[in-house]
Structure 1
Amino acid sequence: MMSLRTVARSAPRTFTRLSSTALRSSRVAQPSSLLKSSWAPLRSSQFTSAFSTSQFRQAPEAEVDEALIAKLENELEFENEMKATEQTPASVLDFLANSPFKLKDEPGKEDVSLVRKFGNETITVTFSISDLANFEPDDMFNEDEVLGDDVDPTEGKRSEQSEGEEGLDEELEGGDAPVPCRLNIVVEKPDKGALNIEAVAQDGQIIVENFYYFKDGRMAHGKTADVAHAAQDIYPGPPFGSLDEDLQVLMERYLEERGVTQALAVFVPDYMDIKEQREYQAWLKDVKDFVEA
């Protein structure tokens, strides 16, 4: 279950105690680093905030610095308060205690990896907290889906003030934010290349999107620009959905046997939320320390 802290961050402070979802609208969305062939538009005005510096031109530099430092300290205090009231999800504790995967989480990096051995195979599952920034808030609250096409959206406006906020609070507190978490799964064998599976962890399930094979295992990772470019020229296989249904089922069972299971599908979004909060707090502290120096 995803926490709702990032909605609380971007909301006015009078509503921050509603609860905290994986949608910080104040941050610029960036494409997941796990997608090798994803396309992202250039930055446009819709992702930027217009501001004017004219009001600060006559203000002493120290005054602006002090105001910024105070605000950063306030945000750090707010994050610490939310963290103090939250407990580590049981899904995270159970997975880390019982899973054969070893967690690799480097502070300051967006990507997290799970690595294990399975016979002569090395299995790596990678996911990124950038998916949280990419998730669209409107996807959670689609008025047409909630009301239906034949319902007048203006009906019942008189009770909106009294019931609207309460309903939103219950929606957020319910907590099942359907944030899809992209997985890059690599199964390698010595001198045999690698399978590269692109999948999504969502609603406690692993949804396979592509099942590729590379004779050169390095192509499955694409850690450098040269390798990623070379991989684009190789035929890795057909779209997963175009395969025979029985073949799809067997390939999914192949992954389950190697630990890509429902437990992992539940663990990833929960851990991703913990990671995002930790990195955000570190970012606030680093910026504050820089301004203070």
Structure 2
Amino acid sequence: MMMSLRAAARSAPRALTRLSSTAIRQSRAAQPSSLLKSSWAPLRSTQFASAFSTSQFRQAPAAEVDEELSVKLESEIEFEGQMKENEQLPASVKDFLENSPFELQDTPGKEDVTLTRKFGNETITVTFSINDLANYEPDDVYNEDAALGDEDVQSSEGGRRASSQAEGEEGLGGEEEAEDTEAPVPCRLNIVVEKPGKGALNIEALAQDGSVLVENFYYFKDAGLARGETAEAAHTAQDVYPGPPFGSLDEDLQILMERYLEERGVTQALAVFVPDYMDIKEQREYQTWLKDVKEFVDA
């Protein structure tokens, strides 16, 4: 995954930078400044106070870290640029954008991405956010796998884990294979199906491993509550009974509701597209952030 590659490539130099910066701060902290020493002297005259309040600050050295920080930011910008040059648009993203009935709305600088389409008299909106990448904890996804660590797991279960015996024989090769088959980051989907004058359905789901997993299937008579576009609407929605937990519904009803979403374009193709597009947008926003910060530091 590109996020993992970029994080690994940047982690070593960043660790060294943090170490050197800490050492510099500690050495400076050990030496009290002349300004701190002079502050202990009593102010015996107006003339002395004036000299203290102006000349001392006027002679203060210019910021020392700005240039070093600017150089490091430029290095990161160049690194990200090289990564972008070597990247190809994933087929899942290209095919979805060309063939999907959804229209993509991606505003630079915003975390949320929106897909919208018309289906008969319905307006369907699917929203997801790159914030899920920042909050992603890979270990949480594989907790169940860890619990099975002492059991033999055959490769036919997806090839993600070798049996304990095979791991012992393959050594490092088995570890490399596990890294290469890392699953994509799961992403939360907020789906709204709205009909004029009839309210809206609000479906909370998860795009994971190429599937859409429905978590909640709500109904609101006021479509504004389903969209939750304002803090007031989100607060009001908390006081409305939207429906029971999806998992508590009759199994056949759950299946029909999932097919209802598939018919409206919330399909496997969308579940594959979302995590891949999230990664692209995160890199784009990160590059812009680097440039903005460098421009500010250099100003």
Smaller-chain TM-score bracket: 0.7 to 0.9
> How many percent identity over aligned positions?
70
Distance in 1 separating the partners of 2:7 and 2:132:
15
CA offset at residue 93 of structure 1? 0.3
Give the TM-score normalised by structure 2: 0.75
Q: 1:158-195 CA distances to partner (integer Å, 9 max, x unpaired)? A: xxxxx65x7655444x2533421000000000000000
Residue in 1 that maps onto 2:193: 187
Residue in 2 that maps onto 1:274: 280
Structure 2: state its 5+ residue gaps. Answer: 34-59, 153-170
Distance in 1 separating the partners of 2:146 and 2:270:
29
Is the aligned partner of 1:249 residue 2:255?
yes
Quick one: which amino acid aligns to residue 92 of structure 1? V
Structure 1: state its 5+ residue gaps. Answer: 15-25, 27-49, 152-162
What's the C-alpha RMSD, in Å, of the aligned pairs? 3.2
Residue in 2 that maps onto 1:128: 129
SS at match of 2:261: helix
Contact 2:200/2:220 (8 A) holds in 1: yes
Distance in 1 separating the partners of 2:112 and 2:283:
14
Is the aligned partner of 1:221 residue 2:222?
no
Residue in 2 that maps onto 1:116: 117
Structure 1's 143 and 114: CA in aligned 2 closer, same or farther, altered over 3 A?
A: closer
Residue in 2 that maps onto 1:103: 104
Residue in 1 that maps onto 2:158: none
CA offset at residue 60 of structure 1? 4.8
Residue in 2 that maps onto 1:65: 66
In our comparison, the structure showing a higher alpha carbon Rg is 2
Residue in 2 that maps onto 1:209: 215
Distance in 1 separating the partners of 2:141 and 2:7:
12
Distance in 2 separating the partners of 1:143 and 1:189:
41
Structure 1's 146 and 81: CA in aligned 2 closer, same or farther, altered over 3 A?
A: farther
Distance in 2 separating the partners of 1:231 and 1:269:
28
Give the TM-score normalised by structure 1: 0.76
User: Does 56-65 or 130-139 show the bigger shift?
Assistant: 56-65
Quick one: which amino acid aligns to residue 187 of structure 2? C
CA offset at residue 3 of structure 1? 5.0
CA offset at residue 85 of structure 1? 1.3
CA offset at residue 136 of structure 1? 1.2
Is the aligned partner of 1:287 residue 2:293?
yes
Structure number with the bigger relative contact order (C-alpha 8 A, sep ≥ 6) is: 1
**Between structures 1 and 2, the one with greater helix share:** 2
Structure 1's 290 and 147: CA in aligned 2 closer, same or farther, altered over 3 A?
A: same
SS at match of 2:65: helix
Distance in 2 separating the partners of 1:52 and 1:143:
44
Residue in 1 that maps onto 2:53: none
Distance in 1 separating the partners of 2:61 and 2:6:
33
Distance in 1 separating the partners of 2:114 and 2:151:
46
Distance in 1 separating the partners of 2:150 and 2:265:
42
User: Does 74-83 or 193-202 show the bigger shift?
Assistant: 74-83
Distance in 1 separating the partners of 2:142 and 2:234:
37
CA offset at residue 109 of structure 1? 0.4
Structure 1's 87 and 188: CA in aligned 2 closer, same or farther, altered over 3 A?
A: same
CA offset at residue 77 of structure 1? 1.1
CA offset at residue 131 of structure 1? 0.4
